[in-house]
């Protein structure tokens, strides 16, 4: 059984403290994306969370990236801001058809991030999942949801996500619940504990552990070191893995992503 691909990356590519730590000090700001996509395997686009982008912008991002690079796209926050997700069909449709398909084979998972106040409602969540298409203009889509309320740590939510093939974001965070149950044919992890005092964001032992976890996911296994809410295991199958260093000591995240990638290469 061939293992899935593992990609490590960061959120966005514009952050002033990265100048001199990730980007060379003399690099023109207009070249930051070019530099980032050639030093990382994936980036979570967060500009799409705040405002609608144009098809031309998605095409520009596509053309900037080398073969094999994949973007995750953070869905427009307005799409999941309604009290009832079942009523968000129009805004979800507008976002999905705003030009994402221009990314072509560089379109990775679409991330739907829920507010910490949103609680699990089985019927509403089922209606939301039913609105997420498998393709946009013929381009394959994969969907991940980041939940941040403890009510989602329940078997009913896991079962719904599996039914629809939606990945539950696996969070490394002190406050957000960690639901590590595998529910899709890929894994989406957001690692949010980078430390300003550590040059690589995460300590060496922690990076070693996450490298082992990522390889287990790619090989179709469910690592024991994580928190699960149901004993029901997902089928053992190769899974692509997307691991993003987000938040925390943000200035350290590019180094963390590259350090994890180096460990994965060394372990192959």
- Residue pair 187/167 in contact (Cβ under 8 Å)? The answer is yes
pLDDT of residue 268: 63
For the cut 90, the answer to whether the pLDDT of residue 3 exceeds it is: no
The full set of domains in the chain, from first to last, is: 6-267 (3.20.20.410)
Over residues 49-70, mean pLDDT: 97
pLDDT of residue 149: 97
CA distance 45 to 246: 11
What would the DSSP string read from start to end of 105-159?
Answer: GGEEEEEEEPPTT----HHHHHHHHHT--SEETTEE-EEEEE--SGGG-SHHHHH
What global pTM score does this model have?
Answer: 0.97
For the cut 80, the answer to whether the pLDDT of residue 267 exceeds it is: no
* HSE (side-chain half, CA atoms, 13 Å) at 227: 15
Tens digit of each residue's pLDDT (9 = 90 or more) over 216-226: 999 999 999 89
- Residue pair 203/194 in contact (Cβ under 8 Å)? The answer is no
- Residue pair 213/11 in contact (Cβ under 8 Å)? The answer is no
Over residues 187-198, mean pLDDT: 97
Tens digit of each residue's pLDDT (9 = 90 or more) over 218-248: 999 999 989 999 999 899 999 999 999 998 8
| CA nearest neighbour of 256 among 203, 205, 214, 216 | 203
- Between residues 3 and 31, the one the model is more confident about: 31
Q: Cα Rg for the chain, rounded, in angstroms?
A: 18
pLDDT of residue 172: 96
Tens digit of each residue's pLDDT (9 = 90 or more) over 18-50: 999 999 999 999 999 999 999 999 999 999 999
Enclosing H/E stretch for 108: strand 107-113
pLDDT of residue 1: 60
Over residues 174-194, mean pLDDT: 96
Over residues 64-80, mean pLDDT: 97
Over residues 155-182, mean pLDDT: 97
Phi, psi angles (nearest 5°) of residue 235: -55, 140
DSSP conformation class of 23: B
């Amino acid at each position: 059984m061939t293992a899935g691909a593992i990609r490590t990356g960061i959120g966005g590519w514009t952050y002033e403290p990265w100048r001199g730590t990730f980007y060379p000090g003399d690099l023109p700001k207009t070249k930051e994306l070019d530099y980032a996509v050639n030093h990382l395997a994936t980036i979570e686009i967060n500009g799409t969370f705040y405002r609608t982008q144009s098809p031309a912008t998605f095409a520009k991002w596509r053309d900037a990236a080398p073969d094999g690079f994949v973007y995750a796209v953070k869905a427009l926050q307005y799409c999941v801001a309604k009290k009832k997700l079942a009523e968000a069909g129009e805004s979800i449709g507008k976002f999905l058809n705003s030009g994402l398909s221009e990314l072509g084979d560089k379109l990775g998972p679409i991330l739907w991030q829920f507010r910490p106040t949103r609680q699990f409602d089985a019927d509403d969540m089922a209606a939301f999942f039913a609105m997420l298409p498998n393709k946009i203009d013929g381009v394959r889509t994969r969907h991940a949801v980041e939940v941040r309320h403890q009510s989602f740590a329940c078997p009913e939510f896991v079962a719904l996500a599996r039914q629809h093939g939606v990945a539950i974001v696996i969070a490394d965070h002190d406050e957000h619940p960690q639901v590590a149950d595998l529910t899709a044919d890929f894994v989406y992890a957001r690692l949010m504990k980078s430390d300003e005092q550590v040059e690589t964001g995460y300590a060496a032992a922690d990076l070693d552990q996450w490298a082992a976890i990522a390889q287990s996911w790619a090989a179709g296994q469910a690592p024991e070191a994580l928190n699960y809410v149901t004993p029901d295991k997902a089928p053992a199958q190769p899974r692509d893995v997307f691991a993003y260093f987000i938040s925390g000591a943000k200035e350290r995240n590019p180094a963390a992503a590259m350090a994890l990638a180096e460990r994965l290469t060394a372990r192959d």
